[in-house]
Amino acid sequence: MSDIEVLLPDGSARTLSEGASALDLASQIGARLAKDALAATVNGDLTDLTKPLPAGATVAIVTPASDLGREVLRHSTAHVLAQAVTRLWPGAHYAIGPAIRDGFYYDFSLPNGARFSDDDLGRIEAEMRVIMGENQPFVREEFSYDDGLALFADQPFKVEIITGVRDGATPEDASEVSGSVVSTYSNSPAFKDLCRGPHVPSTARLGHFKLMRVAGAYWRGDEKRPQLQRIYGTAWESKDALAAHLTQLEEAEKRDHRRLGQELDLFSFPSELGPGLAVFHPKGGTMRRVMEEYSRSRHVAAGYEFVNSPHITKAELFETSGHLQWFADGMYPPMDLDDGQQYYLKPMNCPFHVLIFKARQRSYRELPLRMFEFGTVYRYEKSGAVHGLTRVRGLTQDDAHIFCTREQMRDELVSLLTFVLDLLRDFGLNEFYLELSTRPAGKAVGTDEEWNEAEATLAEVATNAGLELVMDHGGGAFYGPKISVQAKDAIGRTHQLSTIQLDFQLPQRFDTSYIANDNARHRPIMIHRALFGSVERFMALLIEHYAGNIPTWMSPEQVRVLGVRDDHDAYAYDIAAALKQDGVRVSVEAANEPLGARIRRAKLEKVPYILVVGDDDVASGTLGINARGANDPERGVTLEEFRRRLSEEISSHGSPELTRGA
């Protein structure tokens, strides 16, 4: 038998006997690696450890504590989940069970229409641990399509996957099947699953997992197809990694804007109003006002005009714009008024701005014309889709529409992108990437030429911005492509924020024109853009980004002054009055309770600065500062010094507690 040579990721070569597997390679390198190994990549493709290696291949051993390793063990855990479910519910049909971010899921259809309940998760988990204890090897086999169909004759979803791949109808299922054969993995004679693999060598290699929840999921993600029962789980390479993940989930829950909105008395969703309809309380209203005022001032500086439009309009407007044709499902049903007219709540502001443009003849000298409005719109979201402030039925967009010439378009987009990123940075977001959404298949209006030009321009501007650009093929709106700015928050989640959308269509539909210097009518280009997206959603993001520690400049209450004893209250009010002169949002809590209790309350309310004043301060005109997130309070600071520091922090939009690690 001859030898083969394979390359390791570091470029070094190893000699193995022909037919040797990645597991043999791992053993040659070290016993510990062989023990850890879960799978391998051969020339970049993920495969089983036991598969013979081709000569000259570049081979890397996949170990648990890596992205690929976790993917493999999550996928294998999903198989064990399916096996456990078929043990507990004989006759259960299992559909697909991939690894996903942080875990895995598997979709099932139980016999006789049975459904999982949350209580079943414990039983299933226990059965999974039994299977893992049985140390079952994952064994790969390959079958022809016909044999595969026979094998899974009583598993309709598997049959559909195999026939779909055989007939080339569903290329995405190629992940379940490879080449002209179907592959299966069985970890016991009693359980075989259609799967491309790879899998861990044995079920005993699994175990640091937890089933999280049961949910409904449509087969193939299609509303019109049967709804399956999906079980979600999380799985990790070690007990510690699992525990860390669960802790992180708890941390994320603590900064959930819905919870903080309640705790900090910012907003609520009275059930009397219906789903997705929020009211802002005084504190939330203050934060929102500051956000909006700052945005307005920036827009003024950037040359925007301010406009306003009503919340309802005759159907005609949205017939002309095309919204009724495309998005009637997402609009509130019309009100029939007594003259037979139908009126709609507006789902978008753009048609109104077009009408403002059209209110009189426009000259090229007026372009670019930038119209801004905090426009409140209403969208009839499906009842199951609403979510806190991030997905609501009534929302306010920081919406603007820019009318410009084709020649101005590029420059306008460049300065717009700079403007967007500057503004977001002022709110404390610093990590971005851009996404370019292109023509949606089947539902776009407009010519190929228009789309191609729009997409090319946006791509050029996005590339020049120097940020990472991700393509979202087919993700554009029906009327034009868009760039969206994705921002990363303090715990690493990304959120789609600003969108900049090109639109060749609306100006046409409304027959919009301006007179150019050639004395002829020309069609303007329209750019739709929102920076916050929705004020509500942006506020939710900020609350979570800052974990409720709203930066001082936006904080509803910036300073609270506490006298140590009630004979210090008068001095406390003097301090507050002085700060009010600077425009600071300050309150005084009189000394009816022990100082510790009042400090605790202010801390829980996340007031940025608690000022404590006692005998020493009254005597020497000073104050004590207990700053949010600081380890120790500071004593004997002069009022002037505090005013200086505070105004510096507010005007710079600072958020020192982030750097203090609060």
Residue nearer to RNA on the CB measure, 205 or 230? 230
Q: CB 271: neighbour CB atoms within 10 A?
A: 8
* Nearest 10 degrees: Cα torsion 160, 165, 171, 172: 50
Q: CB 206: neighbour CB atoms within 10 A?
A: 23
Which range of residues in 91-99, 365-373, 545-553, 613-621 is near RNA by CB under 7 A? Answer: 613-621
Residue nearer to RNA on the CB measure, 581 or 592? 592
Binding flag, residue 492, RNA (CB under 7 A): no
Burial of 212 (0-12, 13-18, 19+ CB in 10 A): middle
* Residues 498 to 557 in contact with RNA, rule: CB under 7 A: 501
| Residue 165, token pair as written in the block | 């791949």
Q: How far is 345 from 332, CA to CA, in rounded Å? A: 6
Binding flag, residue 201, RNA (CB under 7 A): no
Tell how strand 305-306 and strand 335-336 pair up. Answer: unpaired
Residue nearer to RNA on the CB measure, 294 or 380? 380
| Active site annotation includes 299 | no
Residue nearer to RNA on the CB measure, 112 or 592? 592
- Identify the bridge partners of residue 400 per DSSP, sorted by sequence position: 372, 529
Residue nearer to RNA on the CB measure, 19 or 216? 216
Following DSSP, what letter does each residue of 182-217 receive, concatenated? EEEEEEETTEEEE------SBGGG--EEEEEEEEEE
| Active site annotation includes 653 | no
* Residues 241 to 280 in contact with RNA, rule: CB under 7 A: 258, 262, 269, 271, 274-276
| Active site annotation includes 482 | yes
Binding flag, residue 172, RNA (CB under 7 A): no
* Nearest 10 degrees: Cα torsion 475, 476, 477, 480: -170
Following DSSP, what letter does each residue of 456-517 receive, concatenated? HHHHHHHHHTTS-EEEETT-SBTTB-EEEEEEE-TTS-EEEEEEEEEESSHHHHTT--EE-T
- Identify the bridge partners of residue 306 per DSSP, sorted by sequence position: 372
Binding flag, residue 294, RNA (CB under 7 A): no
* Residues 623 to 662 in contact with RNA, rule: CB under 7 A: 623-624, 626, 633, 635
Residue nearer to RNA on the CB measure, 4 or 235? 235
The catalytically annotated residue of 482, 495, 598, 606 is: 482
Sign of CA dihedral 658, 647, 299, 380: positive
- Side chain identity, residue 236: W
Following DSSP, what letter does each residue of 525-538 receive, concatenated? EEEEEEEEEEHHHH
Q: Write the interaction track for RNA spanning residues 218-237; mark x where CB under 7 A is met and - where it is not.
A: x--xxx---x-xx-x-----
| Residue 162, token pair as written in the block | 């195999």
| Active site annotation includes 397 | yes
Task: Determine the 3-state secondary structure of 51 from DSSP.
Answer: coil
Min dist. Cβ of residue 243 to RNA (A): 20
- Residues contacting 29, CB < 8 A, separation 6+: 8, 14, 61
| Residue 200, token pair as written in the block | 């861990």
| Residue 127, token pair as written in the block | 């059965």
| Active site annotation includes 325 | no
| Active site annotation includes 298 | no
Task: Determine the 3-state secondary structure of 353 from DSSP.
Answer: helix
Angle at 354 between CA 323 and CA 529, to 5 degrees: 75
The catalytically annotated residue of 230, 362, 528, 606 is: 528
Residue nearer to RNA on the CB measure, 136 or 552? 552
Task: Determine the 3-state secondary structure of 176 from DSSP.
Answer: coil
Binding flag, residue 217, RNA (CB under 7 A): yes
Binding flag, residue 445, RNA (CB under 7 A): no
* Residues 72 to 111 in contact with RNA, rule: CB under 7 A: none
Task: Determine the 3-state secondary structure of 142 from DSSP.
Answer: strand
The catalytically annotated residue of 379, 529, 585, 628 is: 379
Min dist. Cβ of residue 593 to RNA (A): 5
Min dist. Cβ of residue 155 to RNA (A): 20
* Residues 107 to 126 in contact with RNA, rule: CB under 7 A: 115-118
Q: Write the interaction track for RNA spanning residues 554-583; mark x where CB under 7 A is met and - where it is not.
A: ----------xxxx----------------
Binding flag, residue 474, RNA (CB under 7 A): no
Tell me which of 81, 613, 646, 650 binds RNA, using CB under 7 A: 613
Tell me which of 11, 168, 596, 661 binds RNA, using CB under 7 A: 596
Count of residues in contact with RNA, rule CB under 7 A: 74
Residue nearer to RNA on the CB measure, 326 or 573? 326
Which range of residues in 235-243, 374-382, 464-472, 579-587 is near RNA by CB under 7 A? Answer: 374-382
Min dist. Cβ of residue 339 to RNA (A): 25
| Active site annotation includes 154 | no
Residue nearer to RNA on the CB measure, 116 or 138? 116
Binding flag, residue 473, RNA (CB under 7 A): no
Q: How far is 342 from 324, CA to CA, in rounded Å? A: 12
Binding flag, residue 605, RNA (CB under 7 A): no
DSSP letter at 256 equals -
Q: How far is 42 from 61, CA to CA, in rounded Å? A: 9
* Residues 331 to 360 in contact with RNA, rule: CB under 7 A: 331, 347-348
- Residues annotated catalytic, as ranges: 350, 379, 397, 399, 401, 482, 528
